[in-house]
Structure 1
């Protein structure tokens, strides 16, 4: 094979090549000129083909998207598993009620202890800041505490049980008697006053300055809550109803479902219910009789409440989760 001798000079696109024959030289020159002309045309005309845009998820601003794939009522939430609730649970842990003392971020919840325990229902607490601060409310007798609610203003927790209504503060957490001695209390709700239901009695009672003010709803009540307008959402054996503060309005049945797991109210006073098939929201209609119960998520918690930032705190078994609102409408997955 002959040696290849290169003598290349670019001056006004002139190329001299001494290589095995003129044909190869011509091909090489053509390729070089094509490349040079292509570069020049690209500079003059710009690229003719737009490059495909690629989204690198590693570079996406995490505040701009919701990675939890959970939307509730068209709001996107980031989903976080917090911790396991510390309590001497029974074989199958179930929490039915939760509430948060917002000034201290202390979560209260009821649970069923082991069958060997002399009480069939108890209320425990744990700090959302640190699980090291936790405990179970107990006293000198079997209270069987289950229903409870929190007075955020005076920082007290009102508990119903097998021997009336009791109250604990944030310092001692030792039960002090409040009212309804020797009665089984089935529900407690605290607003400006204490509202409750008791086994063997129809209706919802209101406690004002040591006196009971009638029956707000003259029916057997399984569970109830008050919304921001003091309308009562209640559950009985025929379904879920709303009883309006204005007595000129008839009660409206929102659902025929009688096995709703629980009721709660968020920081803005809206009522939520949850069931085995999801979370529901009560919406008042412009005409009150057209108020509705709408499913807003297929998430099915055992218990649910709202923290001081109006984020959802919920439990499944003894695991506790948090749904934090994200300022975006983009949510992956749902």
Structure 2
């Protein structure tokens, strides 16, 4: 999967082509969802092959609200998730099929049988983001504090109590801890209790892992991948990608301002005298 995004090539010529060349193969952009508010926080649920996400819903001329929804990649069913005010965050415990959803009044769990969200914990707390790795984490808004659930109760993570956190991620091997805020993207060295700056220019939009454990950073300047010994390198130069996840087969699912898009293999592509266009 790492090679898929690294080898995307664009030909700078006079005409335009909507396909994307990845190594020696061409991919069409299959539009899964379009023409509504900006979709973000895409998370693929591997068992059901559904992609859960949030999108913006204009309430007035001055305010926006957030709505959680999912798309079934097998049936193309689209479903809003009712009952969560200001729903904007998703985390999934893939091993136990637990889907956590956050809104402006607490954390919920999605019931796949009833298709309803049942209240879980943290009543009255405004949930900015969720993350699951052995434990459930959440980031509160507007103070941007990171919390962890231990023995059924949530508490502020001591190591991060002096940092604002917008995005948080622990790698699948538990060897690296990353976080991001308005000032940049960072690694937390748990052994030395030290914060290392990775990039203080980018604005992180999402931190994701593919099914092989490769780490992707979706930013305002494009998509970066952790190339291990070489560090984080930009592999996709499109600035209008807002979220990125992977389906059960490790296919890339991305979103831009109005669409959710799957990269789909095609036997035909573009000739060398055209531009590729996102």
Question: TM-score interval w.r.t. the shorter chain?
Answer: 0.7 to 0.9
Q: Distance in 2 between matches of 1:255 and 1:126?
A: 33
Partner of residue 299, structure 1:
238
Q: 1:152 to 1:332 in 2, by over 3 A?
A: farther
Is the aligned partner of 1:276 residue 2:220? yes
- Contact 2:28/2:265 (8 A) holds in 1: no
- Structure 2 counterparts to residues 82-121 of structure 1, below 5 A: 82-85=30-33, 89=36, 93-115=37-59, 120-121=65-66
Q: After the TM superposition, list the runs of 4 or more consecutive aligned residues in structure 1 that deviate by more than 3 angstroms.
A: 67-71, 75-78, 116-119, 200-203, 331-334
Instruction: Kindly indicate whether structure 1 or structure 2 has the higher relative contact order, using CA contacts under 8 Å at least 6 residues apart.
Output: 2
Q: Distance in 2 between matches of 1:314 and 1:69?
A: 14
Partner of residue 7, structure 2:
none
Q: 1:325 to 1:257 in 2, by over 3 A?
A: farther
Q: Distance in 2 between matches of 1:275 and 1:69?
A: 20
Larger mean CA deviation between 97-106 and 317-326 belongs to: 317-326
Partner of residue 248, structure 2:
308
- Structure 2 counterparts to residues 31-42 of structure 1, below 5 A: none
- Contact 2:147/2:154 (8 A) holds in 1: yes
Higher percent of residues as strand: 2
- Structure 2 counterparts to residues 1-334 of structure 1, below 5 A: 68-71=19-22, 78-85=26-33, 89=36, 93-115=37-59, 120-131=65-76, 133-139=77-83, 143-201=85-143, 203-215=145-157, 216-218=159-161, 219-230=163-174, 231-244=176-189, 246-248=190-192, 250-285=194-229, 292-300=231-239, 301-323=241-263
Question: Structure 1: any 5+ residue segments left out of the alignment?
Answer: 1-66, 286-290
Deviation at 1:82, TM superposition (A): 2.3
Larger mean CA deviation between 117-126 and 154-163 belongs to: 117-126
Deviation at 1:124, TM superposition (A): 0.7
Q: Distance in 1 between matches of 2:64 and 2:151?
A: 31
Larger mean CA deviation between 268-277 and 160-169 belongs to: 268-277
Q: SS of the counterpart of 1:317?
A: coil
Q: TM-score, normalised by structure 1?
A: 0.66
Q: Distance in 2 between matches of 1:179 and 1:296?
A: 39
Q: 1:332 to 1:226 in 2, by over 3 A?
A: farther
Please say which structure displays the higher CA radius of gyration.
1
Q: 1:161 to 1:152 in 2, by over 3 A?
A: same
Equivalenced residue count is: 248
Residues 78-127 of structure 1: CA distance to partner in whole angstroms, max 9, x if unpaired? 4232234168x3xxx31121111111111111101232599700111111
Larger mean CA deviation between 174-183 and 222-231 belongs to: 222-231
Q: 1:279 to 1:228 in 2, by over 3 A?
A: same
Q: TM-score, normalised by structure 2?
A: 0.78
Q: Distance in 2 between matches of 1:253 and 1:149?
A: 25
